[in-house]
Amino acid sequence: MTDLVPASGTVHWIGTGLSTGSGLAKLCESAPRVRVWHRTEERAAQALDRLGLTGRAEPRAYTLDKLTAALQPGDVVVSMLPAPEHAGILAVCVASRAHFACSSYVSDAVLEQVPAAAAAGLVVLTEAGLDPGIDHLFAHSLVARARDAIGDGTAASYRLTSYCGGIPAVPNDFRYRFSWAPLGVLNALRSPARYLADGAETTAARPWEATRRHVVDGETFEVYPNRDSVPFVEQYGMPPAWKPQTFVRGTLRLEGWLEAWGEVFEELKAGDDARIAALAQELAATYPTTDTDRDRVVLVVTLDVAGPAGQAWSGSYLLDLTGDEEESAMARCVSRTLALGVRRVLDGALPPGLNRAAETAARSEEWLRELALEGVDFTLRVDA
């Protein structure tokens, strides 16, 4: 394995949108130097003031060229920009021998650059936020506990569901407020979802059409599948002797969301890219997240395993957080998880190449312990 490029101690945090919160403050405590990049230096300074970090991080005006000129070997670049921007930033990191981190799923464009990054001794940290991120930590922990109880070689069937949603703490008529880019929310609904149901692979061309009721701790929500759940069967280390009856990762919404969004769904069926982009702007203006709004994040991951002769194991993790005046629940969950991963990069604890928040059960337990200490509260329930 190529030797790891030692971290320089400088962190470049690019973007200060809705998911940037107290995790950035945590990094300012542990990293010798933090630079925060925004569209203008003034906007970066305003973000630092909002977060109470004036004087603790350097505001910078972002362009890719300016970032390139500032990078030194061993720096850590944290991208909070939209996922399509990650590949270009990673390319600059590889050329400059700098590490890269983000909270997003691994795109093909990023994956193509991982071999070059690994060969250069660089860490590429991805899927280190809320969803993806904490959901992975929960799943790895549950799978490990079930394997200990049931046994890898035991013939068994299982159901794993993982649902996450950012929702209004006080429900509105629309049953939603945008906690991330509206166009991203709409485009996710336009993407087919692949998952396992009744023991067979299933695809929902329009994910919202697979919406169903889901009760969490006595409260009824609506959930639907998203993206491609199937690769996570292997990523989560499900034993081959266990046969999936259900395996789905999806989105959680308030009860009544499906009905409230009826007109939006009609637009999604008929609209072209230009119309959907315009619709995103209209919805963002009509249903913004304001300073007085409080968001709520609900993440529930459940695993039920049935073995022979009545042998069974069931476990679930529930995270249910509400934002406060200091930061949103979404920002807390995403930024603190990402900051935890970046601190691992600074400590030299992650190997060169591709890393996700959860690669092993042991790492998951370690990260969950630290997140709990940092105010990301959750509960574990086990019935064995």
Q: Which residues are catalytic?
A: 131
- The three-state secondary structure class of 331 is helix
Reduce the DSSP state of residue 70 to 3 states and report it.
Answer: helix
Contacts of 81 by beta carbon, 8 Å cutoff, 6+ apart: 14, 15, 89
Instruction: Give one DSSP letter per residue of 76-96, joined into a string.
Output: EEEE-S-GGGHHHHHHHHHHH
Select from 237, 242, 240, 261 the least CA-distant residue to 251. 261
> In terms of C-beta density within 10 A (0-12 exposed, 13-18 middle, 19 or more buried), how is residue 294 classed?
middle
Sign, CA dihedral 115-117-122-123, equals negative
DSSP code of residue 123: E
Q: What single-letter amino acid sits at 165?
A: G
